[in-house]
Amino acid sequence: MSVNAPGLTLLRRYADEQIGKEHFLGIVGDVNHTSGYHLGPDRIHGPDYSMKLDRDVSGARTFPTAACAYDIGMGWPAARAWLAWLVNECRSGAFPQVREIIGSLDGVHKQYFGHKNGFATEAYDGDNHVSHSHISVFRDTAATDHSPLLRRFFERTPSRAAPPFPGRLLKFTEGQPRPRGEDVRTWQARMLALGFTIEVDGIYGPKSRAVAVDFQRRHGLQPDGIVGPKTWAASFAQPVG
């Protein structure tokens, strides 16, 4: 019978202490899951995406009963900020053990972030995943301590939370191409973490400009809606939570 991966048990213990037992929703035992990383290899029969890669197969041999996915409820105060942080960390390569993330950065839209596509934002039409976030890890990392996926968020330093200015101005001009890219996504995720209502889609359009103006007015900056060096620095200088 499938059991929690050892490394996810360490995460659960840290989550119980840091955010409360009511927000860690478990790893195995949900009868709604009939495939995927929520199950150990012992419960998977036939082709399954969670057993597709060579490292999944080798991991299954080493950990034949370990389920390698977990759900975390989004009811704790810094939950959305944590999710935005985790996605950005995965994009930077900080957590190579993570296979996929499913959740909602804004509490409305459901999104999928996968290792295969560099954790780019994709739409997701599955059930729920607004009130909770799903994270799966590669099967060969079942014994890895996964508590840093939460621990580093709470213990992060200002220097780690402040990426350098990307070198281009983020601005929206009617009739002109909208800036797109990871720099836009990083700034949007920061605004979301600071409590602004914004979609983290990597496209700097009129809604992003409105958030920038709002932020600039609150912090004594020129409210021109352009994210330049000063606005960028101020965005990451503000404490989250």
Q: What is the distance, to the nearest Å, from the Cα of residue 57 to the centroid of all Cα atoms in its chain?
A: 25
CA angle 33, 105, 118 (to 5 degrees): 75
Nearest to 88 by CA among 208, 166, 184, 168: 184
pLDDT bin (cut points 50, 70, 90) of residue 157 is: low
Residue with more model confidence, 150 or 25: 150
What pTM value is reported for the model?
0.67
**pLDDT value for 27:** 64
Cα gap 9→28, rounded to integer Å:
11
The alpha carbon of 53 is separated from its chain's Cα centroid by a whole number of angstroms, namely 22
Q: Distance (Å, rounded) from C-alpha 15 to C-alpha 148?
A: 10
pLDDT in tens, 99-115: 999 999 888 889 999 98
**What is residue 237's predicted lDDT score, i.e. its pLDDT?**
81
The pLDDT of residue 162 is: 67
What is the Cα–Cα distance from 126 to 38, expressed in whole angstroms? 15
DSSP H stretches of helix in 19-130 = 54-62, 79-91
What is the C-alpha radius of gyration for the chain, rounded to an integer number of angstroms? 19
Confidence of residue 31 (pLDDT cuts 50, 70, 90): low
Assigned CATH for 162-237? 1.10.101.10
Model confidence pLDDT, tens digit, residues 73-130? 999 988 988 998 899 888 877 888 999 999 998 888 899 999 888 888 888 888 788 9
Domain ranges in the chain are: 3-156, 162-237
Q: Are 54 and 46 in contact (CB under 8 A)?
A: no
How many residues comprise the chain? 241
Tokens for 190, please give them: 């920061």
